[in-house]
Amino acid sequence: MRYLVLLYGDETVSPAEGTPEWDADLARYMAFDELAGEAIVAGEALQGNASCRTIRHDGAAVRVTAGPFAETVEGLGGFYVLDAPTLDDMIELVCHIPAVNDGGIEVRPMVEWVDRGPRPPADGEARYFATIHGAETAAEEPGSPGWEAGAAEHGRFGKEAGEAMRAGGAVHPTTTASTVRVRDGEVLVSDGPYAESMEVVGGFYVLQGEPAAVADLAGRIPVPERGAVELRPIMELGG
Amino acid sequence: MADGPDEVERAFRAEAGRALATVARLVGDLDQAEDAVQEAYLIAVERWPRTGIPDRPGAWITTVARNRALDRLRRESRRGERERAAALEAVAATPPILHPVDDDRLQLLFTCCHPALAPEVRVPLALRFVCGLRVAEVARLMLEGEAAVSKRLQRAKAKIRTAAIPLRMPGPALLSERVPGVLECVYLLFTEGYASTTGDRLIREDLCDEAVRLARLLVGLRPDDPGAAALLALLLLQDSRRGARLDGEARIVLLADQDRRCWDRSAIDEGMRHLERAASAGTMTAAAAAYVLQAAIAAEHARAATWESTDWRAIVSHYDELAGVSPSPVVLVNRAVALSFADGPAAALPLLERLALDPRLGGSHLVPAALAELHQRLGQHDRAVHHCRRALERAATAPERELLRRRLAELAAAAAR
């Protein structure tokens, strides 16, 4: 069973790049990667809210705004696609992700995962994590006619995006989401997404290209009516 | 030997709950288990009146339901081919005659109390899948509409299936964190059966038995957990009074008037043993301490040979501690009532008058009913009547209203003298 694992937290309190605290954080993530081993299907650290852009749809109008989809101090700091047999195995695993201790980790069962593998970046290219947001409708229920129609649209988008689309995934509705936090050593699991204001609806993509081309492409990702795509640069940690 | 439809229905219902949990483990899916047990029911209704009820109906239901699920898996195309083959293999590998296993219900209780499920769906899920009640019965107990309960159960089952919440208890790393939620659910199952005075009496008594049984299994699973031992003690001590709580016409008999010879002595002895063990634990959580203190209060009543010899001072001090670990206005009302027996009604009156202003108790009949009693004991009949009428307006259940009407009649008779 594959799960999309979203790492949320308050970036204003997280350490700045280059500080010893940053290095310690990085070491903790590397320890997790080692511990999780083959359970990790994919995973990236993401840049802060200031580097985000949001592409909002209103009927035929498409508008690009600076900043994340939800105006909060909290934001998406990273993601994993993890493989585990059950939710309990997943909870045990995500308890070792450092973000679980101050922010929280949202676990979303996935319907589908497409991975085209890495492509060496050309000059001026960057990678982005694009998440879909908006009102959840009955079409978000896998197997429903609405879902099938949506899946076909995403199939067309994947073809159109070509080499710029590196990976993509579809997730089950937010009613199947769970959130894990650890406070004072105690594991706190709850029903539902980390924050309704930030919830990912339907799925996500990993896009690679020049910033303007990616923003243009992100505007063509199928979204719910009046929905939006949040485009967050991936933090290239090197190695 | 033929059995009538009522006997068939009763025999099936008595065993279906336990069978459901076992079938769920075998087929690995709650919906499929429900469907399979329902199919077994249709076969039983058709066959048992002719052939007689089988010697071991539980084994019959489990086996037939397993076979139905197997047939369905062979036919069905909903699941992916690989998943279907794996499920088929797992189910087919089980022995031909199956017995419902207690352990399966305990395992499934952990699923129903999973923290990734909304808190308000955990008790209805446990009522359905651990206690094996029908959806209509769950709705009746929860005082909700059947459609609403059914919808909530469907959503919870969809989450269990989609998010892959396992149909068993977690491994050692997560177990101790899950136990408090499971204890709470068992406590709520018990109070659902014990305190709720509506609905089918038989179902409610079954529910109390079931909660005690589950608490016992939890003590077996966690022998050193003071919370588990204290919960079992509390349930046993409360339940020991079952035979004396209602009179022949199902009317409430107050503790003061209960025939203490009808209290279940073996349940009391067992409860006392578990309470002693729990109370001697060095450290415990606030939740565990709350069970210990509630059990200690029940133990004081169980220990008293008569109402008059009740150690009210000890009870008040337990309530004081309980208010410290579980601050709830209901605890304070009960404490005030206990105090009225320790120090006299006049001492408790100002406490209750203050509680009457607590917005959390706004819609409840508890405070006016307690005030009515205090005023009656103080000989202030007019005030007693006033509070009794207010309590009557708020009381939710028929037996409570009947009790208050009896008190009003008493007050009227006293005034006429």
φ, ψ dihedrals at B275, nearest 5°? -60, -45
B59 contact partners, CB below 8 Å, separation of at least 6: B97, B98, B99, B100
- Residue A67's pLDDT is 93
List the single residue in B with minimal CA-CA distance to A175: B159
B77 interface with A at CB cutoff 8 Å: no
For the CA atoms of B300, B304, B307, B312, the dihedral, rounded to the nearest 10 degrees, stands at -40
Q: Are B108 and B127 in contact (CB under 8 A)?
A: no
Percentage of chain B beyond pLDDT 90 is 61
CB contact under 8 A, A88 and B174: yes
Q: Are B113 and B122 in contact (CB under 8 A)?
A: yes
> Where do we find the tokens 């079938």?
B23
Q: Are A189 and A102 in contact (CB under 8 A)?
A: no
Is A239 within a domain? Answer: no
A167 three-class SS: strand
DSSP string of A78-126, one letter each residue? EEEEEE-SSHHHHHHHHTTSGGGTTSEEEEEEEEEEEE----PPPTT-E
- Listed by start position, the domains of chain B span 1-99
Q: Which helix (H) or strand (E) holds B45?
A: helix B30-51
* Tens digit of each residue's pLDDT (9 = 90 or more) over A214-237: 999 999 999 988 899 999 999 988
| Residue B404: pLDDT band with limits 50, 70, 90 | very high
Q: Are B402 and B251 in contact (CB under 8 A)?
A: yes
Helix pair B226-239, B172-194: axis angle to 10 deg: 10
> What is the Cα–Cα distance from A48 to A74, expressed in whole angstroms?
9
User: Is a pLDDT exceeding 80 seen at residue B383?
Assistant: yes
B256 contact partners, CB below 8 Å, separation of at least 6: B307
Of A113 and B4, more confident: A113
One-letter amino acid at B284 equals: M
A5 interface with B at CB cutoff 8 Å: no
CB contact under 8 A, A176 and B163: yes
User: Residue range A175-196: average pLDDT?
Assistant: 95
Q: Are B278 and B257 in contact (CB under 8 A)?
A: no
Of B399 and B102, more confident: B399
Query: Any idea what the CATH number is for the domain that residue A216 is in?
Result: 3.30.70.1060
Write out the two tokens for A217: 């492409």
Is A85 within a domain? Answer: yes
> What is the Cα–Cα distance from A45 to B339, expressed in whole angstroms?
61
> Per DSSP, what are the bridge partners of residue A128?
A207, A233
- Residue B172's pLDDT is 87
User: Is a pLDDT exceeding 80 seen at residue B143?
Assistant: no
* Tens digit of each residue's pLDDT (9 = 90 or more) over B244-267: 988 888 788 999 999 999 999 999
> Å from A7 to nearest chain B CA?
17
Percentage of chain A beyond pLDDT 70 is 99
> What is the Cα–Cα distance from A225 to B103, expressed in whole angstroms?
49
| Residue B139: pLDDT band with limits 50, 70, 90 | confident
ipTM: 0.92
> Where do we find the tokens 């676990």?
A107
Tell me the residue length of chain A. Answer: 239
* Tens digit of each residue's pLDDT (9 = 90 or more) over A11-63: 887 888 889 998 998 999 999 999 999 999 999 999 999 999 999 999 889 99
Q: In Å, how far from its chain's centre is CA A136?
A: 17
> What is the Cα–Cα distance from B357 to B181, expressed in whole angstroms?
32
B360 contact partners, CB below 8 Å, separation of at least 6: B329
Burial state string for A5-19 with b = 16 or more CB within 10 A and e = fewer than 16: bbbbbebeebeeeee
Q: Who among B116, B159, B162 is closest to A189 (CB)?
A: B116
Q: What's the pTM value of the predicted model, to 2 decimals? A: 0.87
Is A22 within a domain? Answer: yes
A191 interface with B at CB cutoff 8 Å: yes
> What is the Cα–Cα distance from A87 to A39, expressed in whole angstroms?
13
A131 three-class SS: strand
A136 interface with B at CB cutoff 8 Å: no
Q: Among positive and negative, which fits the CA dihedral B148, B151, B157, B163?
A: negative
* C-alpha atoms less than 13 angstroms from C-alpha of B67 in its C-beta half-sphere: 11
- Residue A101's pLDDT is 93
- Residue A239's pLDDT is 47
Q: In Å, how far from its chain's centre is CA B323?
A: 23
CB contact under 8 A, B177 and A186: yes
User: Is a pLDDT exceeding 80 seen at residue B137?
Assistant: yes
Is A187 within a domain? Answer: yes
Burial state string for B289-312 with b = 16 or more CB within 10 A and e = fewer than 16: bbbbbbbbbbbbbbebeeeeebeb
> Per DSSP, what are the bridge partners of residue A106?
A6, A179
From A177, A188, A27, select the one nearest A101 (Cα to Cα).
Answer: A188
- Residue A130's domain spans which residues? 2-233
φ, ψ dihedrals at A189, nearest 5°? -110, 140
Write out the two tokens for A53: 């852009």
DSSP string of A25-61, one letter each residue? HHHHHHHHHHHHGGGEEEEEEB--GGG-EEEEEETTE
DSSP letter assigned to residue A208: E
CB contact under 8 A, A1 and B164: yes
CB contact under 8 A, B118 and A88: no
User: Is a pLDDT exceeding 90 seen at residue B117?
Assistant: yes
Q: Are B325 and B286 in contact (CB under 8 A)?
A: yes
Q: Which helix (H) or strand (E) holds A4?
A: strand A2-10
Is A87 within a domain? Answer: yes
User: Is a pLDDT exceeding 50 seen at residue A71?
Assistant: yes
Is A238 within a domain? Answer: no
B380 three-class SS: coil
Q: Are A39 and A150 in contact (CB under 8 A)?
A: no
Write out the two tokens for A184: 């004072």
- Residue B227's pLDDT is 96
- Residue A72's pLDDT is 84
- Residue B262's pLDDT is 93
CB contact under 8 A, B166 and A175: no
Is A172 within a domain? Answer: yes
> Å from B176 to nearest chain A CA?
10
A113 three-class SS: strand
- The average confidence (pLDDT) of chain B is 89
Q: Are B125 and B112 in contact (CB under 8 A)?
A: yes
Task: Please classify residue A164 by burial: count the beta carbons closer than 10 Å to its beta carbon, then call 0-12 exposed, 13-18 middle and 19+ buried.
Answer: buried
* Tens digit of each residue's pLDDT (9 = 90 or more) over B166-221: 999 998 889 988 999 999 999 989 988 887 655 566 667 888 999 999 999 999 99
> What is the Cα–Cα distance from B298 to B136, expressed in whole angstroms?
32
For the CA atoms of B29, B32, B34, B35, the dihedral, rounded to the nearest 10 degrees, stands at 180
User: Residue range B327-340: average pLDDT?
Assistant: 94
> What is the Cα–Cα distance from B388 to B370, expressed in whole angstroms?
9
User: Residue range A96-117: average pLDDT?
Assistant: 95
From A109, A220, A100, A104, select the one nearest A154 (Cα to Cα).
Answer: A220
Burial state string for A118-133 with b = 16 or more CB within 10 A and e = fewer than 16: eeeeeeeebbbbbbbb
Mutate to test the interface with B, among A176, A181, A194 (most CBs of B within 10 A): A176
> What is the Cα–Cα distance from B159 to B220, expressed in whole angstroms?
30
- Residue B364's pLDDT is 86
From B198, B237, B235, select the one nearest B399 (Cα to Cα).
Answer: B198
Q: How many domains does chain A have?
A: 1
> What is the Cα–Cα distance from B185 to A214, expressed in whole angstroms?
50
